[in-house]
Chain A
Amino acid sequence: MTSLWLSACTPTVKIEPPDKPIVINLNVKIEHEIKIKVEKELNNLLENDELF
């Protein structure tokens, strides 16, 4: 009973690093032309080291 209680309190957390590159697809749906314009503005914004 005691060992059960103890083991319940010591969970093993295994974190295995992925061997493939991490790809996160957030699927943003915006009209193509607007998307290109917004992306261009974001690229400029992303160059700001104090913000990104």
Chain B
Amino acid sequence: MKSTFTLATVLCLTSLLWSSTAWAMTLQEAKTARLVGEQTNGYLGMVISSPETQQLVLSINAKRKHYYQTIAKRHDISLDKVATLAAQKVMEAAEPGHMIQTPQGRWLKK
């Protein structure tokens, strides 16, 4: 009984530690380090693959999709159109040195 409790505590602490390290990297830091970049589909892409960047990319893209969906529904247009329009804007606004993807799928330093 006691060992089960200890195991549960260790698991909880480990997951807490893991999630805190995953969140240690912010989006802006990842962009500056060129670990992530903007894709032509309006979502963030991994330039350098790692569990940490993957976690960040998945989490941010889920949130982006939610907002794109809201805008798409409000104006009765497709999610893809909103996302593509966002891609164009976000690439124009990207800071020099950040990574952007070409329609051919190649990563370029802006």
Bits for A33-52, please: 1 = Cβ < 8 Å to B, else 0.
Answer: 01101110111011001111
If over half of B's interface residues share one DSSP class (helix, strand or loop), that class is named, otherwise mixed; here it is: helix
Asked if A46 contacts B89 (CB within 8 A), the reply is yes
Interface residues of B, count at CB 8 A: 29
Asked if B85 contacts A28 (CB within 8 A), the reply is yes
Interface residues on A, range: 20 to 34
Minimum CB distance partner of B86 in chain A: A42
Partner of A42 from the list B27, B60, B85 (CB cut-off 8 Å) is B85
Given the complex of chains A and B, what is the CA–CA distance between A47 and B107 in angstroms?
24
- Chain B residues at the A interface, C-beta cutoff of 8 Å: 26-28, 40, 60, 63-64, 67, 71, 74-75, 77, 81-82, 84-91, 93, 100, 102-103, 108-110
